[in-house]
A = this chain, B = another copy of it.
Amino acid sequence: MDTVVIAGVGLIGGSFAKALKQHGIAQRILGIDRPEVLAEALELGIIDEPAAWDESVSRADLLYLAAPISGIMELLPVADALARPGALITDTGSTKVEICRAASRLAGRGCFIGGHPMAGKEIQGCSAADAALFEGKPYFLTPAAGQEQSASLQVLTQVLSTIGARTRVISAEAHDETVAFVSHLPQLMSTALAELLGRIPGMESAAGPGAVDMTRLAGSSYQLWSGILDTNVDAIRLALAEYVRQLSRIEAALGHPEMKKHFEDARKFARLLHKK
């Protein structure tokens, strides 16, 4: 791959750039972001060249949109209009239905494949970028209907596998339902617990390791989450309803031997997850 343009050189964009370099995948990496971010990314050797939107996109073989969801929605039409025909365009937005719907309305000069790396860190920004960020982590790809066998998808899958991601091709709808359970529900569970405990006097000084664990996600910023929650309301409602039903089954088992089965089933899943 000759030229890769990364729009948004934060933790994800910066880590992708570093991983491409480490595996010798790209000849040249251009970055688009605020001037101070580009200066830092250049100094850290994450990008080769700071770039402006209009003069760089037409050079891209791969355009990687690593902005918040609202940013991706704004950049998509510009990216498609400026891309050279057949260029590969992908994004990293945490929900996919609205983004893929917007992409499907474009002229389609570039070839768009939605993406979502399930990787992150508590620290943001390109100074925290890490070439190994995607290693062993799920990376969803949501091609448009009919694009599941396209050459573009094959190329993107190849690149992501090389940098260690476990790619998974899925429809945008199934993706958003899955992440409602596996990501948005855990976030809201933690937010709800922290808000509840914060309202009751004395809870902070009584909290042990369990409460500390379960309120860690509650430290996430709303700015990061608002775009995610706003674009996945229906699927999140469904996940919350299922979760509340599960809680009431567990409540019904309080003081009864059936509780054992709940603990055993839960432990089985927890062990699967934590040995990774």
Contact = CB atoms under 8 A, between A and B. Distances in A.
B120 A198 contact: no
B168 A265 contact: no
A207 B247 contact: no
A206 B266 contact: no
B274 A212 contact: yes
Contact of A254 (B168, B198, B217, B233): B233
A93 to B, nearest CB: 14
The CB with the most chain B CB atoms within 10 A, among A186, A198, A233, A267, is that of: A186
Interface stretch (A49-57, A76-84, A98-106, A221-229): A221-229
A183 to B, nearest CB: 5
Contacts of A43: none
Interface stretch (A14-22, A152-160, A238-246): A238-246
A193 interface: yes
Contacts of A268: 198
A118 interface: yes
Given A209-B120, A219-B270, A193 B202 contact: no
A194 B270 contact: yes
A110 to B, nearest CB: 27
Contacts of A186: 193, 210-211, 213-214
Interface of A: 118-120, 137-138, 140, 166, 168, 178-179, 181-183, 185-200, 202-222, 225-226, 229-230, 233, 236-237, 240, 242-244, 246-251, 254-255, 259-260, 262-274, 276
